[in-house]
């Protein structure tokens, strides 16, 4: 079975006009999930990574698995007020408004090579914000690794300065 074959598209979720790609069937298929993590981990190792960074919530699933597989530390990015220690923040634009992400101020050290891992690359706003947080702390974005890319949303354009891997590309809505 192929990775793209197991994912489920749910029309009109979470709102009308959105086709949500559901990763839960992948998570429920151990062999395919393991292969997916292996592929993300191989890219991570090729980029000579020192640290994995993942954003909530589905990014944690893949980021933690890649960190475990590569034996690298994991840092997490969250919405404001969710991390217990001193943080830095980055606010970015959305289609209608803004959003903010936070990272512990000691999560990345100067010069550390960081792989950003997430389940999905859509418009690129979240991962671009993650990259800005890494760079604000003096880290270097070694790359960005995704299970799924919605290339019709052109999120990769925001990541043009970084190495990007996506395992599956949906090139139309």
Q: pLDDT band for position 2 (50/70/90)?
A: confident
Average pLDDT across the chain, whole number: 95
Check residue 169 and give its pLDDT. Answer: 96
Check residue 127 and give its pLDDT. Answer: 97
Check residue 96 and give its pLDDT. Answer: 75
Q: What is the DSSP letter of 50?
A: S
Q: What is the DSSP letter of 156?
A: G
Check residue 97 and give its pLDDT. Answer: 81
Check residue 64 and give its pLDDT. Answer: 98
Q: Give per-residue pLDDT as tens, 70-114.
A: 999 999 999 999 999 999 999 998 767 899 999 999 999 999 999
The token pair that represents 104 in the structure block: 């512990």
Q: What is the mean pLDDT of residues 3-25?
A: 93
Q: Kindly compute the dihedral angle of the four CA atoms of residues 124, 52, 141, 126, in this order, to the nearest 10 degrees.
A: 20
Whether the predicted model's global pTM rises above the 0.85 cut: yes
> Which residue from 114, 118, 119 is spatially nearest to 54, judged by alpha carbons?
118
Q: What is the mean pLDDT of residues 119-130?
A: 96
Asked whether the bond before 4 is cis by omega within 30 degrees of 0, the reply is no
- Sorted by where each starts, the structural domains of the chain and their CATH numbers stand as 3-170 (3.40.50.2020)
What order do you get walking across the sheet with 140-150 strand by strand?
Answer: 87-94, 97-104, 74-78, 51-55, 113-121, 140-150, 164-170
pLDDT at 11 over 80: yes
Q: What percent of the chain has pLDDT over 70?
A: 99
């Amino acid at each position: 079975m192929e990775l793209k074959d197991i994912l489920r598209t749910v029309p009109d979720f979470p709102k009308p006009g959105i086709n949500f790609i559901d990763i839960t069937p992948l998570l429920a298929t151990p062999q395919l999930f393991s292969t997916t993590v292996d592929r993300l981990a191989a890219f991570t190792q090729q980029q000579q990574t020192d640290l994995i960074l993942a954003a909530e919530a589905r990014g944690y699933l893949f980021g933690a698995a890649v960190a475990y597989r590569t034996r690298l530390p994991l840092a997490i990015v969250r919405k404001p007020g969710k991390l217990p220690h001193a943080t830095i923040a980055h606010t970015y634009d959305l289609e209608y408004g803004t959003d903010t992400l936070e990272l512990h101020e000691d999560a990345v050290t100067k010069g550390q090579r960081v792989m950003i891992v997430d389940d999905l690359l859509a418009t690129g706003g979240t991962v671009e914000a993650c990259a800005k947080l890494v760079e604000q702390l003096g880290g270097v974005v070694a790359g960005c690794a995704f299970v799924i890319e919605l290339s019709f949303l052109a999120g990769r354009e925001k990541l043009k300065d970084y190495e990007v891997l996506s395992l599956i590309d949906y090139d139309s809505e």
